[in-house]
Amino acid sequence: MANEIRWKPSVTVAAVIERQGRYLLVEESTRDGLRLNNPAGHLEAGESLTRAVAREALEETARCFSPSHLIGVYLARAQRGDDDVTYLRFAFAGSVGEPQAGRALDSGIVRTLWLTPAEIESSRERHRSPLLWRCVQDHLAGQRYPLELLADPQWS
């Protein structure tokens, strides 16, 4: 077993941000063209899940995000050619402030958009991941779990 390769999922976080019936999404440049997504990204070493989602939302939207609840934990597999990646996504509900003046969006992010659920659903062919719509649906359904469920240590 010493030569056995250990499988590990790619851990990601996503911010589900709703204001007055619209959701804040990012439009990003990918190898498949322009795609829509929740503000999202990868958990970094030594980082708590709540800090990771706040960081990713700030980098992708130029807005400070305060997570209030966990919406859900999702497992998804993406296969493209020889790439076969399993994602473990932690989606958080929360609120954002106004954009920080002069702060650039993360590399690859073209712009942010506030879309209604109907607009999000009707643009499913442009979603970077099927988890975008699933997370919005779960938020609309009122799915909320306390952050304490995570036992998410606040790393210094």
> How confident is the model at residue 155, as a pLDDT?
46
> How confident is the model at residue 58, as a pLDDT?
98
The domain locations on the chain are: 10-148
List the single range of 111-115, 141-145, 149-153 with lowest mean pLDDT: 149-153
State yes or no: pLDDT of 18 exceeds 90. yes
Compute the radius of gyration of the chain from its Cα atoms: 16
pTM for the model stands at 0.90
> How confident is the model at residue 3, as a pLDDT?
66
The predicted-structure confidence for 70-83, as pLDDT tens digits, reads as follows 999 999 887 776 77
Report the residue count for the chain: 156
Main-chain phi, psi angles of 137, to 5 degrees: -60, -45
- The pLDDT confidence band at residue 56, using thresholds 50, 70 and 90, is very high
The predicted-structure confidence for 90-141, as pLDDT tens digits, reads as follows 999 999 999 999 999 999 999 999 999 999 999 999 999 999 999 999 999 9
Q: Mean pLDDT for the chain?
A: 92
Helix, strand and coil percent figures for the chain, each rounded to 5? 25, 40, 35
- The pLDDT confidence band at residue 6, using thresholds 50, 70 and 90, is confident
Domain 10-148, architecture per CATH? Alpha-Beta Complex (3.90)
